[in-house]
Amino acid sequence: MTPERRDPVAVAVSLALLRVARVLVPLARRRAWSDEWEAEIRHRWGAAARRGAVPLGEQVDLVRRSSGSFVDAAWLRRQFTTDAESVHDVRDSVRLLARHPRFAVAAIATLALGIGAATTVFSVVDAALLEPLPFREPDRLVRLWERRPADGRERDQVGAATLADWREQARSFSGLAAWISWDFALRDGGEPVAIPAARVSTNLFSVLGVRPALGRDFLAEEEEKGRERVALLAHGLWRSRFGGDPGVIGRTVGLDDESYVVVGVMPEGFTFPEEGPGLWVPLAFLPDELRSRSQRMFSVIGRLAPGAGLPEARAEMSVLASRLAAEHPETNRGWEVEAAPAVEAAREGARGPLLSLLAAVALVLLIACANVSSLLLARGAARRQELSVRSALGASRARLLRSLLTEALVLAAIGGALGVAFAHGGVRAARVLAAGHLPPWNPVEVDGAVLAFALATIAFVSVLSGLAPGLTSTAELGRESVRAGRPGAGGARTARLTHGVVVVETALCIVLLVGAGLLVRSLLRLLEQDPGFRPHGLVSASIFLPDKRYPEDAQQVRFFEELLERVRRLPGVESVGATTTLPMNPVGIDHDMPFGIEGTASLTADPPPEADFRIASDDYFRTMGIPLLAGRPFLPTDDQRGRRVAIISRATAERYLPGQDPVGRTLYWGSSRRNATEIVGVVGEVRHRGLETSPRPEMYLPFRQVSYGSLVVVARASGDAGALGRLLAQQVVALDPALAVSDLSTMEGLVSASLAGRRLVLAILGSFAAFALVLAATGVYGVVSFTTARRTHEFGVRVALGARARDLERLVLRDTIARVAVGIALGIPAALAAARLLRAWLFRVGPADPLTLVAVVGVLASVAVGCSLPPARRATRVDPAVALRGE
Amino acid sequence: MNVTYTTALVLEAISSGYHYGFDVMDVTGLPSGTVYPALRRLEDEGLLRSRWEKATLAHDEGRPPRRYYEATGSGERWLEQARARFRLLEAAVPPKLKPARAQG
């Protein structure tokens, strides 16, 4: 405003009015508002003055109009206030919470833990199941397997010769690539280190659509034997072993006994097939690999050709498989092709457990909401006087509801902010815990999607926990029953809702407790399982003899003979053995061998029966504690000059030679079943692929007769198994410094690792269940305290009429037990339905395991009673005189 | 928004070429305490838009620039409906013959 001294009276008065009215206008609009008014006033005066002296009537009119600016300013103020009410509500809520810190802390902590847990679980779900795989058009990638449904073999790997036919003939794929995980002893100066690696088709990275960050991709011709001495490094290995030096390209590194030229470095974060490979080398098939169809050991991925879809690819592969079955009946009869989207295959293992955990955390969050709801309800009752006054002064029910919801929103926002902070820690823990259990391609982190989830959760939580108490408190205003009276009480609706909270919490809690209980029972059952050997005190290490260094079978046998002898002489070693693959070990050679036993139908059966085929040293069974049930173990005389011998497991004997003595019978093995072998012994069966699997038919051959360049040495220690491991590795290096030992582990570690995924799910679900129980306990405590407090008057009357403390106590307990019973009745069917989701994780325990149900109900009921006792006791100490005076 | 006769009258005036608050009062006879809130509401609803007169013009007269209102497309459509409802609306505002500035 630009007041001037020469202003005529009418203008001066008008501007003065304006200056007063201006105060009402919201700050943001004040300047524009007064400019607009002043411009009109001055313009009007100027126009009139130019016509001559301004008549008095016009001057009065100008002042009158200016006084209208008050109406205008007030209108703007009112508009603004309506918008600003929410700001006001927030300020009010914060002030209220600060005045009731115990309530605020309880509610915020509950929500922070609930939202934090939910956000953490979601960040894992997001990384593992929702974010796209970091490959080009990941939806066009397809995993391929061989399968023979006739004997329940789904998703076997692929034989090399079959793979070669696929790559040559399949038209629905623009590229098919294979890989096999491989350990190399990396030598670059110092001691050799075992590096997990992968031999991959040279087109693997172009099929995936990933290019090296440095250097070049493999060339197609590097798949030819003799040209494959090139390597691509993983970013991590490049940083850790080569100091991130770009000059590494072109350098030579020693892998096993060969020299490889580094041609490139893959981008940071890239890993395939899963977490771990430090480097990749071309998969150039060894001649015997390329001839083989029955050694199904290569994993295959393909990219659909432009225009081709999965159904076409499946149809084509199925035709191809029947053709191969006809051409190579001895190895391929009955074998089909299984194809599935690679994305699905990658996520399959994680989906079930993660969705169960997401469901579990949702339940925890619901219980947290129920708790906060009951806290808000109690607060609503305590605020009744304030709300009544506001209502009497004209605040509408919607307006009051909005203030109450704002309170819930403020709680949820503060809790949510803390929860996101928790989630940052939770995510770090999840990365450590879940390593190796999740698809490794996307990092678990609190990113935009996770924050959006947290925000949505906050909104959901504030409505869910605030709406019911808000509606209840406002509905009871102005009712006769609640006219200004005892503070802290509430009407019948409040009472119903608090009881509802107990019912809901009990029901939700049961679902979680039953889930956790079933998993605990399954784990206990599993630990009771006899693995078929004695894991305690066993230590093992994998040794791989490179072909170039040990070209002759005899050399390989001699190496292992010497190594076993050296280890046997070590102090603290009871016995030592070797085999191709240990039970519970994810690494090792493990394949099926067709066989037939003379004089039984198995010899002519088509397709032939198959047994897990393993090589074993003389002392392997004694070392492992696998009982010899008949015949003899392998002996040093079972060598190239001796008669071919085999030992079979009891399961094999019982299935193929029921009621007969297997010792002395002749067994034929191999795809043409020509290798005649005498069965010299029967050993106990082993749960080779995990405690939850049933033993499969097994047959063992002596390591001196069938030589393998890669064996696992296992020793039984009389003392510390861990210390023995280092000694064992030293013996290998002492024999041949070019070798590296990998997978050094204790057998107990392997058994435990085979249960790690299950333990992890149990630990997480268990902590959710424990958290839920604590929430439910505090919830029940809170509700009982609140309801007994509002019944003080009634209790006073009862005492005055002669009721004893014990009667009141029983009264309170009976009420709680009734609500809990309703909760249990509702919760059990829900728990039974939810337990079905866990079916894959249950072991020898039904989803409706009665023991679990009884235990859970017992725990919940006693916790509920335990939590309502203290408030009940307090209620019984009521002094009737005091209680009635409160009227 | 509510179709009241007063609001419709204010918009009719703007649409007929009376672009300033005081001019609208002149032609409609409504008091400032009615016209201004109506203008604010119409602008909030997007039936009107406003801009400021050129600063040079205002400077010559030694006053702040005036606020100039005009009906938007949806304002004109809304007005059509209002005219159907209030038959005499158009007649209530005499058509403006000369642009406002020409008078000054």
| pLDDT for residue A581 | 86
- A206: tokens are 């172009």
- A81: tokens are 């206030």
**Confidence class for position A579, pLDDT limits 50, 70, 90:** very high
B65/A71 CB distance under 8 A: no
Does the pLDDT of residue A245 top 70, yes or no? yes
Could you tell me which chain B residue has the CA closest to the CA of A41?
Answer: B22
| pLDDT for residue B2 | 64
- The shortest C-alpha distance from A86 to chain B (Å) reads 20
Write down the residue that tokens 């397809």 correspond to: A142
| pLDDT for residue A202 | 94
- Calculate mean pLDDT across residues A844-863: 91
Nearest by CB: B22 against A32, A50, A65: A65
CB atoms within 10 A of CB A49: 12
A40/B21 CB distance under 8 A: yes
A79/B32 CB distance under 8 A: no
C-alpha pair distances (Å), A240 with each of A237, A278, A482: 5, 10, 73
Does the pLDDT of residue A296 top 90, yes or no? no
| pLDDT for residue A82 | 66
Residue numbers of A between 684 and 743 with CB closer than 8 Å to B: none
User: Greatest CA separation found in chain A?
Assistant: 137
Does the pLDDT of residue A32 top 70, yes or no? yes
Q: Which residues contact B102 (CB under 8 A, 6 or more apart)?
A: none
Global confidence as pTM: 0.73
B33-48 pLDDT tens trace: 899 999 998 998 889 9
Q: What CA–CA distance (Å, rounded) separates A356 from A351?
A: 8
Residue numbers of A between 36 and 75 with CB closer than 8 Å to B: 36, 38-40, 42-44, 46-47, 50, 64-72, 75
| pLDDT for residue A5 | 53
Interface contacts A/B by beta carbons within 8 Å: 77
| pLDDT for residue A480 | 41
| pLDDT for residue B103 | 37
**Confidence class for position A716, pLDDT limits 50, 70, 90:** very high
Nearest by CB: B37 against A32, A65, A72: A72
Q: Is residue B58 less than 8 Å (CB to CB) from chain A?
A: yes
A72/B62 CB distance under 8 A: no
Does the pLDDT of residue A79 top 60, yes or no? yes
DSSP, residue by residue, A226-249 = TS--EEEE-HHHHHHHHTT-GGGT
Pairing outcome for strands B67-71 and A336-341: unpaired
Mutate to test the interface with B, among A24, A30, A36 (most CBs of B within 10 A): A36
- Calculate mean pLDDT across residues A301-313: 94
A581-623 pLDDT tens trace: 888 876 556 677 888 998 888 888 877 888 888 999 999 999 9
Percentage, residues of chain A above pLDDT 70? 96
Lowest mean pLDDT, pick from A278-282, A454-458, A810-814: A810-814
Write down the residue that tokens 């292992």 correspond to: A560
Does the pLDDT of residue A534 top 70, yes or no? yes
Could you tell me which chain A residue has the CA closest to the CA of B50?
Answer: A36
B32/A47 CB distance under 8 A: no
| pLDDT for residue B54 | 81
* ipTM value for the complex: 0.88
A229-238 pLDDT tens trace: 999 999 989 9
Does the pLDDT of residue A676 top 70, yes or no? yes
Buried residues in A585-604 as b, exposed as e (16+ CB within 10 A): bebbbbbbbbbbbeebebbe
Task: Give me the long-range contacts of A554-558 (CB less than 8 A, separation at least 24).
Answer: A554/A640, A554/A707, A556/A707, A556/A708, A556/A709, A557/A639, A557/A703, A557/A704, A557/A707
E runs forming strands in A484-571: 538-544
Mutate to test the interface with B, among A25, A35, A40 (most CBs of B within 10 A): A40
Sign of CA dihedral A43, A48, A54, A57: negative
Contacts of B58 in chain A (CB under 8 A): 39
Task: Decide: B11 and B48 in contact? Cβ < 8 Å.
Answer: yes
B43-64 pLDDT tens trace: 988 899 999 888 777 787 778 8
Does the pLDDT of residue B71 top 60, yes or no? yes
Alpha-carbon torsion angle A376, A378, A384, A385, nearest 10: -120
Please tell me the total number of residues recorded for chain A in this structure. Answer: 887
Task: Decide: A566 and A734 in contact? Cβ < 8 Å.
Answer: yes
**End-to-end alpha-carbon separation of chain A, Å?**
61
Task: Decide: A756 and A503 in contact? Cβ < 8 Å.
Answer: no
Q: Which residues contact A401 (CB under 8 A, 6 or more apart)?
A: A470, A471, A474
A547-561 pLDDT tens trace: 778 888 899 999 999
B63/A46 CB distance under 8 A: yes
Nearest by CB: B61 against A40, A43, A76: A43
Of the candidates A661, A113, A668, the residue with the CA atom closest to the CA atom of residue A421 = A113
- Max mean pLDDT among A184-193, A209-218, A662-671 falls in A209-218
Could you tell me which chain A residue has the CA closest to the CA of B67?
Answer: A36
Nearest by CB: B32 against A47, A69, A76: A69
Contacts of B63 in chain A (CB under 8 A): 2, 38-39, 42-43, 46
Contacts of B31 in chain A (CB under 8 A): 64-65, 68
C-alpha pair distances (Å), B103 with each of A59, A388, A799, B23: 19, 59, 91, 12
Pairing outcome for strands A698-702 and A610-616: parallel
In sequence order, which ranges of A126-211 are alpha helices (DSSP H)?
Answer: 160-169, 204-208
Helix A397-434 and helix A756-790, axial crossing angle in degrees, nearest 10:
150
Q: Is residue B65 less than 8 Å (CB to CB) from chain A?
A: yes
**Who has greater pLDDT, B92 or A537?**
A537
**Confidence class for position A95, pLDDT limits 50, 70, 90:** confident
- The shortest C-alpha distance from B87 to chain A (Å) reads 28
- The shortest C-alpha distance from A71 to chain B (Å) reads 5
Nearest by CB: A68 against B20, B36, B61: B36
| pLDDT for residue A588 | 58
Lowest mean pLDDT, pick from A310-314, A417-421, A581-585: A581-585
- Calculate mean pLDDT across residues A332-345: 91
Of the candidates A659, A637, A636, A656, the residue with the CA atom closest to the CA atom of residue A648 = A656
Give the three-class secondary structure for B45.
coil
| pLDDT for residue A886 | 56
Q: Is residue A7 less than 8 Å (CB to CB) from chain B?
A: no
Q: What rounded mean pLDDT belongs to chain A? A: 87
A360-382 pLDDT tens trace: 999 999 999 999 998 888 888 77
B33/A68 CB distance under 8 A: yes
A467-491 pLDDT tens trace: 888 888 888 775 544 444 444 455 7
